[in-house]
Amino acid sequence: MKSQLVRGTEHPRELHDAKEIWVGGYTPSPKVGDALLGKLGRIPDELKGDSKSMSEKKWDVFIGHASEDKESVVRPLAKSLSAFGVRVWYDEFTLDIGDSLSRSIDRGLAGSSFGIVVLSPSFFSKKWPEYELQGLVAKEIGYGETILPVWHNVTREDVLEYSPPLADKMALRMDQYSPRQVALRIIKVIRPDILTRVHQRIAYLRAMSGAVAKKKKLAELVVSPIRHKKLPMSLIGRIRLFRAALWDVYPHSMEFWLDGFRRDLHPSDEITRWEHIAACYTEYAKMAELTPEQKEHVFGIFLGFSIGFGRDKMERHIPFIPEGDFEKLENMAKSTLPLYDIDEKFPDVIGEVPAEILESLAQIFNIGDFAKS
């Protein structure tokens, strides 16, 4: 499922060079574009749109589509849009024979800022009346440029045969780019605030790929400016959790933590590092009987591991931890999963849950004698 921009016969040069078109000012080839987008990996929370977008409507976009296109086209596109924080509404806009295309679009725009209509062989097989198809273009008179046609497995000649007005309308054609690239082209129109952050992330990744680490004197370092006026609630909740976990060894106000992460170029990356530090520290502290002084040195070791220090840089901490445990701490820091855990698995059926746990749950949730029910 791939895409390019086409518009009737007005821009034959654009159609010829469509493989080089990109969202925004940077225009790599599709192969390079896929490589860069692949580096994004999991979309960082700070790249995603705020739950309160630029519009007061409940949804950013709805997707009108033929029922046959839902699984192969619409769901992957909706998933890619949602991954960037776009609020997508599509389950209620599956169109079948007998449905009113015009009424469906009116209903969608009542709750969404934009509408996507997937034009495909399955869509046109519904035999919409011509006034319904012309209505897609006419909607822009009443709503502005809010209807975004998407072509799937159809050519301009196919669309022209069904509806000449639709064939001359700017459309996104899904036959040359990945779902994520299609999503970004749509986001350029419906949520440019998200696209700006994505471009910043890609520029950062490109810069970091050729960056060289250098040592600087502490006195030469300067405090970074505030880069994020507001952090998403999803990040704030994570900060609050590891702040509590590290309170004994690194007590700071919530504002101290928030101010620091607002200055990071990509706070979600830094938050992930601190989560790992807090998890390792908490797990080890639960296993070992440590004095307050030992806890501080254990924290110092995990902090050192997080910035690449080896044993030689942490010699001052080693005399204060239990003998022989430095390697244990090092292995914990290197592991994604806990190295030391309890022997337990989630029960397949509720009857396998121990009665004492059920009784505790019953008391917590005030649901009566849950263990006997």
pLDDT above 50: residue 183:
yes
Q: How far is CA 349 from CA 116, 147, 346, 353, in A?
A: 43, 48, 9, 8
Structure tokens at 179: 């779902």
Q: Which residue has the higher pLDDT, 82 or 20?
A: 82
227 located within any domain: no
- Note whether 198 and 241 are same-domain residues: no
- Note whether 86 and 15 are same-domain residues: yes
- Note whether 179 and 298 are same-domain residues: no
pLDDT on residue 239: 96
218 located within any domain: no
- Note whether 176 and 262 are same-domain residues: no
Q: Mean per-residue pLDDT for 155-167?
A: 80
Does residue 132 carry a catalytic annotation? Answer: yes
Structure tokens at 200: 């910043």
Number of domains in the chain: 2
368 located within any domain: no
- Note whether 283 and 192 are same-domain residues: no
Residue among 147, 151, 130 at smallest CA distance from 8: 151
pLDDT on residue 357: 74
- Note whether 163 and 52 are same-domain residues: yes
- Note whether 249 and 188 are same-domain residues: no
- Note whether 198 and 251 are same-domain residues: no
Q: Which residue has the higher pLDDT, 221 or 96?
A: 221
**Catalytic residue of the set 20, 68, 132, 356:** 132
Using the Cα atoms of residue 48, residue 50, residue 53 and residue 56 in order, give the sign of their dihedral. Answer: positive
Q: How far is CA 219 from CA 223, 295, 316, in A?
A: 11, 29, 23
Which of 154, 185, 203 is the last residue in one of the domains? 203
- Note whether 195 and 240 are same-domain residues: no
Place of tokens 């739950």: 51
Helix (H, G, I), strand (E, B) or coil at 172: strand
Q: Place 327 in a pLDDT band, splitting at 50, 70 and 90.
A: very high
Q: What percent of the chain has pLDDT over 70?
A: 73
pLDDT digits (tens, 9 = 90+) for 27-74: 334 344 445 455 555 555 655 555 444 456 778 888 888 888 888 888
- As a whole number, the mean pLDDT across the chain is 76
152 located within any domain: yes
355 located within any domain: no
Q: Place 279 in a pLDDT band, splitting at 50, 70 and 90.
A: very high
364 located within any domain: no
- Note whether 144 and 100 are same-domain residues: yes
Q: Place 283 in a pLDDT band, splitting at 50, 70 and 90.
A: very high
pLDDT digits (tens, 9 = 90+) for 83-134: 888 888 876 655 555 556 667 777 777 788 888 888 888 888 877 655 555 6
116 located within any domain: yes
- Note whether 139 and 257 are same-domain residues: no
Structural domain for 32, as ranges: 4-203
- 80-89, 151-160, 169-178, 329-338, range with greatest mean pLDDT: 329-338
- Note whether 157 and 256 are same-domain residues: no
Residues 84, 128 contacting (CB under 8 angstroms): no
- CATH number for the domain spanning 13: value is 3.40.50.10140
Q: Which residue has the higher pLDDT, 85 or 299?
A: 299
d(CA 49, CA 54): 9
> Comparing 169-173, 270-274, 299-303, which segment has the lowest mean pLDDT?
169-173
d(CA 116, CA 61): 7
Q: Which residue has the higher pLDDT, 282 or 40?
A: 282
219 located within any domain: no
pLDDT digits (tens, 9 = 90+) for 133-160: 565 566 555 556 677 888 888 888 888 8
Q: Place 2 in a pLDDT band, splitting at 50, 70 and 90.
A: very low
